[in-house]
Amino acid sequence: MSLTFIAPPLQQINSEIARRAGVDLYVLRLDLMHPLVNGNKWFKLKYNLLEAKEKNFTTLLTFGGAYSNHIYATAAAGNLFGFRTIGVIRGEERLPLNPTLTFAVQQGMQLVYLNREMYRQRNTPALEEYLRQRFGEVFIIPEGGSNLNGVRGCTEIIDRAMPTAGYAYAFDHICVASGTATTLAGIALSLHEGQRAIAFSVLKNGAFLAQEIESLLTNYLASDLPTPYSSPASWELVCDYHFSGYAKVNNELILFSQQFTQEHGVPLDYVYTAKMFYGVMDLLQHGFFCKGDRLLLVHTGGLQGNVGMEERLQRFSKI
């Protein structure tokens, strides 16, 4: 299974804040790997698609909210690799479809809506049984691609995505925005001695993610999936930059995001990367990192969501 990806560029950020802190800042631009299937969502899908193909499934079924980057990426990847796709969307159908779901349908995805109560059961055998009864033999990928196949794909982000072999060693801290922390777990499993992965929760009350990370790591290490390195995974969780919760924004975040893009030529999405970048810049100003540290900020993509977000913001500002 192959897609033509470009190796994600490693871009240095020349920021006054970083310079004053004596820290080198780099961004790994996973958002530029492919026009449709990019960011961390490709890494989380890769081994799921391979398993589906190996087991001769022809249909993928997965879950997500109406603006989900994962729904978008699954629809596009399914189309590129010849799978039928079914997207189970949380909540009621709203017409006209938003840009994310319009794209999904254009890629051939069949959309199905579940009310919030049923949607909450999405990881239960009972709901999976109901979906199999309704749609036949489908390969089910959890919301966000968040299973051990997803972790496995994410172990390849840092090492394989680096433009030059050995470059991955050059960084002390690898920062990533976290929703389910599957991406963080994969990155943490791929680090070398002395390196640390830092998860920035985009969820309110994100402290619970620490247990999620521990259990993902434990389950992964107990499985027979390959681990790149044997050094114990070193990670940290930062919970202070959720901006009131998932997909919530305020003027400060919007302004930061726009300024950052203008100054450094790196577009950010409001749900994930803007919050992580804001958090890193704030921590730099508060002496969280040491002089001489080298930071890698993983740009996990998600830019497709900005179209829908900007539409919503405009609607609110008119009220």
Q: Which residues bind ligand PLP (CB under 6 A)?
A: 39-41, 69, 144, 146, 177-184, 269, 272-273, 300-302
Q: Are the C-beta atoms of residues 143 and 119 closer than 8 Å to each other?
A: no
**CB 41 to ligand PLP: min, Å:** 6
Task: Report, in Å, the least distance between residue 154 CB and ligand PLP.
Answer: 7
Other Cβ atoms closer than 10 A to 145:
31
Q: Which two tokens stand for residue 255?
A: 């302004």
Cβ distance to ligand PLP smaller for residue 21 or 271:
271
CA dist 122 and 62 (Å) reads 10
Q: Which residue is nearest to ligand PLP (CB)?
A: 302
Order of strands across the sheet with 294-299?
A: 10-12, 24-29, 294-299, 173-178, 196-201, 235-238
How far apart are alpha carbons 273 and 31 in whole angstroms?
A: 11
Comparison of 99 and 144: residue with beta carbon closer to ligand PLP: 144
Q: Residue 21 or residue 41: which is nearer to ligand PLP going by CB?
A: 41
CB 190 within 8 A of CB 158: yes
Residue placing its CB nearer to ligand PLP in the complex, 21 or 47: 47
* CA 14 from centroid of its chain's CA atoms: 25
User: Rounded to the nearest 10 degrees, how much is the dihedral formed by the CA atoms of 184, 36, 90, 218?
Assistant: -20
**Shortest separation between residue 26's beta carbon and ligand PLP, angstroms:** 17
- Bridge partner residues of 113 (DSSP): 89
Identity of the residue, 209 or 295, whose beta carbon is nearer to ligand PLP in the bound complex = 209
What is the nearest approach in angstroms of ligand PLP to the Cβ of residue 212? 9
Nearer to ligand PLP, 159 or 269 (CB): 269
Q: Is the dihedral of CA 69, 75, 80, 82 positive or negative?
A: positive
Q: Is the peptide bond before 142 cis (omega within 30 degrees of 0)?
A: no
Q: How far is the CB of 255 from ligand PLP (least distance, A)?
A: 20
Minimum distance from CB of 1 to ligand PLP (Å)?
21
